[in-house]
Every structure is written in structure tokens, then in C-alpha cells.
Amino acid sequence: MHLECDPNKLRIEMVGAEKPNFPMDIGEMYEGERVRRPDMQVEFGGPDIPKKWEIVLTRKSEEIEDGKVILIGPDLNELKQGGSYPLGILIEVAGEKVEKDLEGVLERRIHYFLNYVEGVMHLNQRYDIWIRINKKVYQKGLNSLIWLGKALIWLYKQSFPVIEKIQVTLTTDPETIEKFYPYALEVWAARDKRARELRDEDVEEFYGCVMCQSFAPTHVCVITPNRIASCGSISWFDARAASRVDPKGPNFPIPKGQCLDPIKGIYSGVNEVVSKRSLGSIKQVALYTSFETPHTSCGCFEGIAFYIPEVDGIALVHRDFKGPTVNGLTFSNMAEHTSGGTQNPGFNGIAIEYLRSPKFLQADGGWERIVWMPKAIKERVGDSIPPHMRDLIPTEQEVKNVEELKAWLQAKNHPVVKRWKQVTEEKPPEEKAKVEAVAEAPVAAEVVPAAIVPEGLSVPVGGGFIIIFKNAKIIAEKVIIKRLEK
Ligand code: SF4
């Protein structure tokens, strides 16, 4: 599908072989630059805009014009300062060696390339984008989106000599964005589906990605057929294509080596490569668990799988979920703790597509350990939830806090309830009484039942405080954290 629009809404400019005379600076030193709301000229996408997208598609050479930048809809200087607007970015590429498998990796580069632009902050990917442009660079001359199109063309051509032709379309026109949106969803679904047909056991090599090391220096994504990258935009096929076309680039093969634990997903080859690429910070990665030595997260994850000690279960939340989740914390509260390239047992940055994997948190119980998830995600991946679990997992519509969650799980006889019983039964009589007392009591959000806290678990409790459990044998009847009144 090609973008269609009213020709009266179009503006076209061309980029030649020479570097354009940009009004703003461009370079890696601008990566990580943040644009806060009071400093922004405008923002595109983000949580307040339901439809937005960025996508890379391969085309036949005759279908596109090299160096062409198209703008559809109002330009930057026609948008009200401080406003939020929809945006679509379509990048079309052609070249003899530009395979379809490269689309995902090239698409992920939009994030990096726009962050190289002075005064521009780009977050997320695919249908989740959020871009801010600061007032300073706008006043300096970045007052047209055409400049961003030109910057993208120039950066792609510098980084990927295999691209023979590239054409960039930016659109702020809601009608155009809306029309193309279902097609973009189809393209991403087809990309993800292809990877679903392979299993980790079927391949000799996994792939790594260190694109995010500029802001999470110890983070290495391990991309396997059954574990798509946590940003959700690079599958095993994408990473393989990228490593072939750019062997010195951020994607590289990881020979699996010996499988040390097929349930947790621990491989000697993964440990070796991750240890080397994280400069010794991460010694072991267990691919299919949230506990002990989980996969690290940079900050680009689409969602978080987070542990709820009160019920010994795992809940899910996605980036666009507004307001507090079932444990009282928002996505942003937990994202801060989940990111940074460290291993955070109990907090796992994940792609939504990973929920469809047959190895989804398999060492932790998979779907039988999931106790809560947002309605939007439940609807999106509903067909991948095992039928016997579909009605047992509540959303924000049924359950709003841990107290309600516990009651729901008990009433539905959710599989995690058996785990509570096991813990209780394994205790000596006097401790059993204490655990039962806690289990029977109305459970407040701040109550942690004894003896079911996994090793290494750390819990953000708001206000900048984190509780870390290391080699802990907790015998307290309960822990209550209270905010002191001033
Ligand atoms: S999240 Fe992982 S796969 Fe995605 S760009 Fe970053 S390092 Fe690469």
C-alpha cells in the first residue's frame, strides 16, 4: 500500500548528494537529550494521541525517487506552540541488497537518527512513537518537518551504503494517518508472525543488539525466535539480516553453545557473549524468567512484567497504560526501576509480542502465573492466552488494587492460589499460623506475606525508595510501609 492524500496538502523537497545546509546540529552527542514539556515547541504522538506510527518499507527501485521528502498536512510552523499532534513517518527504501528482512532494523534506526538531531527527543517505536521538539532549536531554524526528513535521508545514506534509493514521507494530516494505520498494523503483524513459526531449539545462533548501549551501557538484547527484542521492533529474522548486511554494526550472531537450563533458557554461548559485551557486568542471562538473572532492560521496552509479592503472581502493563496499575504504581514509576541495563529480578522489560511466545516466562509458570493485565493488552493478545486462563486474569475493569486482586484470585481459584497453599503447608506449625493470619487478613497494598519473596527481588515503593531482597529469609509477619505525615 502507498500513502494516498489530497495533492493540495502535499509539499515536496529533494536531497542531493551533498549534505543539506541544516539549521540545526546533528550528531551522536545529542542522543539522550530530554525535552521537558515547558521547553517543547510541539510534541507528536505520545499517550494523548491514539494514532501515530513510523514504518520502513522496502520498495522496487522504480517505485520511489531517491532523496525525495514529502510532507502531508500542516508543517511545524503552522502548529500551535505547546500542542500535541499526530504524526506518521513512512520511509521507503530500495537497493539490490536491501532485503525485506531489513525493514525492522532500519525502522528501529529512526529512533536513533532522530535523537541525533539537536533539540529533538524521540521515544519508542512502531505505533507508540513520542517526539518532542524544543523551542530553542525551533527558533534556531528547525521550523519545518522537511528538515527532519532531510536529516533522516542523510543519516540513512551515511550508515547504510546498501540503500540505493530512499524516500521519506512525514504526515501530520489526521486523515492520512488514520487511513494508513491498519495497513501498518498488518505489516508488523506479518513480520512478528513469521518469527513465531520458528523455535529457539530450531536454530544454532541467536542474535544480539547493543543499539541501546548509548544510554544503558551494560544492556545487551538477546534476540531469539521465541524472544523478540524488548523494544518489540527487532525479531530474530530482522537481527539476522542486519548482522549480515552490516557485520560491524550493533547486531551480531550469538552462538548458543551448550543449553545449561532449557526451562529458564540459560545458554553458555549467551552468557559468554553478554558477559563480554556488557564488559563483565552481566555474567548470566536466563531468557524465560523474571527472577534470579533475568534479561536486562534498557528503557525501550513496550511493557513490564512485574512481580506482586502479596499474591506471588506476575502482572503486566504496557507503556500507554494511564494511571496506577493494580499495585498502585504507574508504568513510569516501574519503568525507572526496570531500565538501565541492570538485572532487576521481579521487573522485566518485555515486548508485547513476547506474550505470544510459547516460552513466555515459562520458568515462572507462564500464563498460569499472570494475575492482572490491562484490558487493551488482553484484547490484543487474547488469542494467545491459554483458554483455561482467559477468564481468570482480571483487568483494570474488574480489579483496581491488591486487596481486590487477592479476593478475585481466590474466588476464581486461579493457579497461583495453590502456591499460597504450598507455602503455608511447608511452614512449621507456629510459622504456618502466622502466614495463615496474613493470608486471612484483608490485604492492604503495602502488606508483604512472609517467605514467598524470590531471591534478588527489588521493589520500588515510590518517593525514590527501593527495597532490595538479597539472600533474605523473611520471618516478619508483615511489612508495612507508610508515608510520614508532615
Ligand atoms: S531495545 Fe534491544 S533490540 Fe531494541 S534497539 Fe535497543 S538494544 Fe536493540
CA 47 to CA 219: how far, in whole Å? Answer: 26
Ligand 1 atom with minimal separation from the 232 CA = 4
DSSP, collapsed to helix, strand or coil, labels residue 138 as helix
Q: Which of 56, 300, 339 to mutate to test the pocket of ligand 1 (most atoms within 8 A of CB)?
A: 300
Question: How many angstroms does the Cα of residue 231 sit away from the middle of ligand 1?
Answer: 6
Per the listing, cell 531471591 goes with: 455
Task: Report the atom number in ligand 1 closest to the C-alpha of 219.
Answer: 7
- pLDDT tens per residue across span 162-200: 999 999 999 999 999 999 999 999 999 998 888 788 999
Closest residue (by CA) to atom 1 of ligand 1?
231
Q: Is the predicted pLDDT of residue 307 greater than 70, yes or no?
A: yes
Query: What ligand 1 atom has the least distance to the C-alpha of 108?
Result: 5
DSSP string covering 281-328, please?
S----BTT-SSSSBPP--S--SEEEEEETTTTEEEEEETT--S--TTS
- CA–centroid distance, 91 to ligand 1, in Å, is 20
Could you give all domains of the chain from N- to C-terminal order, each with its CATH number?
Answer: 7-195 (3.30.1650.10), 200-409 (3.40.970.20)
Lowest mean pLDDT among 65-79, 160-174, 204-218, 254-268: 204-218
Q: Give the number of residues written for the chain.
A: 486
Nearest CA to ligand 1 atom 3: 229
State the DSSP string of 405-460: HHHHHHHHT-THHHHHHHHHHHS-HHHHHHHHHHHHSPPPTT---TT-PPTT-EEE
From the alpha carbon of 300, which atom of ligand 1 is closest? 1
Q: Name the pLDDT band for 78 (thresholds 50, 70, 90).
A: very high
Number of H helices, E strands in the chain: 12, 20
The backbone torsions φ and ψ at residue 322, rounded to the nearest 5 degrees and listed phi first, read: -95, 140
Among 249-253, 331-335, 435-439, which is the least confidently predicted range?
A: 435-439
Please give the grid coordinates belonging to residue 130. 513520542
Residue-level pLDDT at 470: 53
- What gap in Å lies between CA 355 and CA 348, rounded to an integer? 12
402 CA to centre of ligand 1 in angstroms: 33
Distance (Å) from CA 369 to ligand 1 centroid? 26
Name the grid cell of 254: 550469538
* Pocket test residue of 107, 114, 212 for ligand 1, highest count of atoms within 8 A of CB: 212
The answer to whether 287 and 225 are in contact (CB under 8 A) is no
Q: Can you tell me whether residue 13 is helix, strand or coil?
A: strand
Atom 4 (ligand 1): residue with closest C-alpha? 231
Which position has the higher pLDDT, 431 or 32?
32
pTM: 0.76
Residue 220 alpha carbon, nearest atom of ligand 1: 7
The alpha carbon of residue 480 and the mean position of all alpha carbons in its chain are separated, in whole angstroms, by 32
Pocket test of ligand 1: the residue of 107, 123, 209 to mutate, having most ligand atoms within 8 Å of its CB, is 209
Centroid of ligand 1 to alpha carbon of 124 (angstroms): 10
Residues in contact with ligand 1 by the CB-under-6-Å rule are: 108, 209, 211-212, 221, 229-231, 234, 298, 300
What does DSSP say about strands 88-94 and 53-58: parallel, antiparallel, or unpaired? parallel
Q: How far is the CA of 212 from the centre of ligand 1 (A)?
A: 6
Nine-digit cell string for 289: 524468567
- Position with higher pLDDT, 56 vs 233: 56
Q: What is the pLDDT of residues 122-153, one digit of tens each?
A: 998 999 999 999 999 999 999 999 999 999 99
Q: In sequence order, which residues have a C-beta less than 8 Å from that of residue 388 and are 6 or more positions away?
A: none
Look at residues 120, 5, 110 and name the one whose alpha carbon lies nearest to residue 53: 110
Instruction: Give yes or no for a contact between 173 and 85, defined as CB atoms under 8 angstroms apart.
Output: no
Instruction: Please determine, for residue 429, whether its predicted confidence score (pLDDT) is greater than 90.
Output: no
Q: Whose CA is nearest to atom 5 of ligand 1?
A: 211
Which helix (DSSP H) or strand (DSSP E) does residue 261 occupy? strand 259-261
Secondary structure element (H or E) that encloses residue 273, with its range:
helix 268-277
